[in-house]
Every structure is written in C-alpha cells, then in structure tokens.
Amino acid sequence: MLNPNIFKKVNLLSLGVYIPNLRLDSSELVNNWQHSPQITNSLGVKQKSVANFDEDPLTMAVMASHRALKDSQIDPKSIGAVFVGSESHPYAVKPTSSMLGWWLGLGHDYLAFDTEFACKAATSALIAAASMVESGFIENALVVGSDKAQSKPGDVLEFAAASAAVAVIIGKRKGVAKLKAVNSYTSDTGDFWRRDNAEFPEHGGRFTGEPGYFLHIESAIQRFLEKYMRKISDFDKIVLHMPNAKFPKKLARKMHITEEQIKDSLTVSYIGNPYSASALLGLANSLSKSEIGEKLLLASYGSGSGSDVLSWEIDKNNYLKDFFEWQWQQGKKISYFDYLNNYNFIK
C-alpha cells in the first residue's frame, strides 16, 4: 500500500512537446474501410498525428527534451535521472533512456532506465523520479513519454493510435507548478496487450471500457480524494487519459467533473492518442491556459491495468501559451495509402 505523502520539494521546471507534423484525417479511415461515419462522431477523434518514416520514440524524445532543457535554463549535467516511458521503444533490448542522455550531452553521472506500462509508463516514471528528488538523492530529473503508437490496419484502434513525445523536467527550485501528492491503483486486467514479436497490439473489446479504463481511473481518483481529504471541486483543471474523446467525457459526467474543469485537457480530437504522451499532452495544454494558484489533477491510465493520479499547484500562468495549438495547427494531411505504406510501422 502506498503511504499518503505530500510532496514538499518537487517542482515541474519545464515541459517540452514534440508532435510530428503529419496528420491522418479520420475520413480517410472511414472511406478506405467503409466504416460508418458515425464512428468518428462516437470516438470524437477528427485526425491523428503520424510519425514520419524516419521518426521513432527516440527521435521524438530528443526533440521534446531539447525544448524542455532550453526552457528550463538548468545545467544539463545537473540531471540525475533520465526515464523514458513508452510501449514502442525502438529496441527490444537496448535502452532508449541511455541513447537519449547521450544525444542530450548529459555526461555519464545519471541513473537511466526505460519503463513500460502501456499508456501510463511515463507517469509511473514521473512518480519514481519525484520520489528521488524529494529524498534529496538527485537534484533534477528528466522524464519522457514518447510513443509511435501502432494499430492493425482496419482495427478501431487505427482511428486514435498516434505519435508524439512530451518531456518533463522536475527539480527542487521553483518552476511552473508544484507537485503536491500522488496515488496509484493497479490490477491484473487484460484489456490490451502485444506479445513479443507480434507486429500489432490486440485488445479485449469490452474489457477496455468498464473493467479497464473506467474502473481504474475512477478508483485511483476516489482513493486519492479519500487519502488527502479533497473533493473534485477543489481542482480548477482535471486531465484524464484520452484513448479517445468519448471515454474521458463519459467518466467526467459520472464523477461530476465539469466541462470547465476538463475542456483544456482534451487534445485527443486533433492529435489522437499517443499512448505514453497522452495524459502529458493534456497536462501541457492545461498549463498553457492556467493561472497562478490554480490546482490541477492528472489521472493517467495504462492497460494491464493501472492508473496514476498526480496533483499540482500552478506557479506560472499561461505556461507554453499557444505553443501546443501552434503545433497541431501546422499539420500536413496525408492519404491513407501513404500512411499504410510509409508511416504505420516501426522502422
């Protein structure tokens, strides 16, 4: 059992976001697979970001991390830990984190490892890194969620499986937001998986909804509120993991989360679901529209299954204002033929 613990020394110093500039419109999938147009309305995903043929989770992590480092204004050599969360690491056996550290010029005196827990791999790594900063073991840490999400052609996952990376730098000095408290909820629920050597993931259909996504996030949030004696209404902004636009909106209604609380987090309609980067993209966009003193609650979800909850208090208003929207507005549309033949596979 996790002990209720208020963080006192951990701050979010900077965020770096990288979204590939290629976009696949949902209408391409509807037309090519003769899906009902209603599926686009149901899922609420208009388009998704697509990594180019020469991009992978490492290259995207490098881009996002460079942006975070530049904005943080810290000495890169002060980073004591580099963690990369992904379910599409470029190598089955060779860490993405050590390659990332080398490309960033961090030297050699840092702890590095990769994490996997479907779409919550990065938030779990963030909790681990925050604990190291809080304890005084390290001064600063870099945590990245980066995925080139895969989907079997014709599968419903194809509408949302996207590509992006978000890099988060945390440390002790004052920054963008204070980390206040965390909670996690975990079970063995087989809703989504990919066997070793399998090209595409599979999913358990009905298990992805109620026993997967909804049960775990709701339980994680409810137990967080009980442990720390908080209410949903205490938070100005709430970020829920976004496998599509339908699920977080449905969960918000069930948990009495208002449209005002959740609206700034819903990046999925224009970007899709870049797995480990999904909840962090919602965090980035919410921070870009936040004011000093506001409180933010983030709840990730990873199939297999679990949810991490992290609460923040904003120290810098309108951080990264308009930067996120600028990235998704610059997207170049591609055809489904090009997507299938050039971009949909890990190269």
- Please give the CATH architecture assigned to the domain spanning 177-314: 3-Layer(aba) Sandwich (3.40)
| DSSP string over 149-166 | ----TTSGGGGTB-EEEE
267 pLDDT higher than 80: yes
Per the annotation, the verdict on 119 as an active-site residue is: yes
User: In whole angstroms, what is the distance from residue 90 CA to residue 51 CA?
Assistant: 13
| Catalytic-role residue among 87, 134, 218, 294 | 87
Q: Where do you find CATH 3.40.47.10 in the chain?
A: 11-176, 177-314
245 within 8 A of 43, measured Cβ to Cβ: yes
Mean pLDDT (whole number) for 298-313: 96
Q: Which numeric CATH code is attached to 11-176?
A: 3.40.47.10
Reported as a single tens digit per residue, the pLDDT across 199-240 is 776 666 555 656 789 999 999 999 999 999 999 999 999 999
Q: Is 289 left (phi over 0), alpha (psi -120 to 50) or beta?
A: alpha
| Catalytic-role residue among 89, 203, 216, 241 | 241
Per the annotation, the verdict on 139 as an active-site residue is: no
Mean of all residue pLDDT scores within the chain: 91
Q: What percent of the chain has pLDDT over 90?
A: 77
Per the annotation, the verdict on 241 as an active-site residue is: yes
Backbone angles phi, psi at 293, to 5 degrees: 95, -15
| Catalytic-role residue among 28, 89, 119, 218 | 119
Confidence of residue 346 (pLDDT cuts 50, 70, 90): very low
**pTM reported for the whole predicted model:** 0.94
Reported as a single tens digit per residue, the pLDDT across 77-136 is 999 999 999 999 999 899 999 999 999 999 999 999 999 999 999 999 999 999 999 999
**Amino acid residing at 7:** F
Q: How far is CA 7 from CA 11, 80, 154, 185, 319, in A?
A: 9, 19, 45, 19, 22
Mean pLDDT (whole number) for 72-77: 95
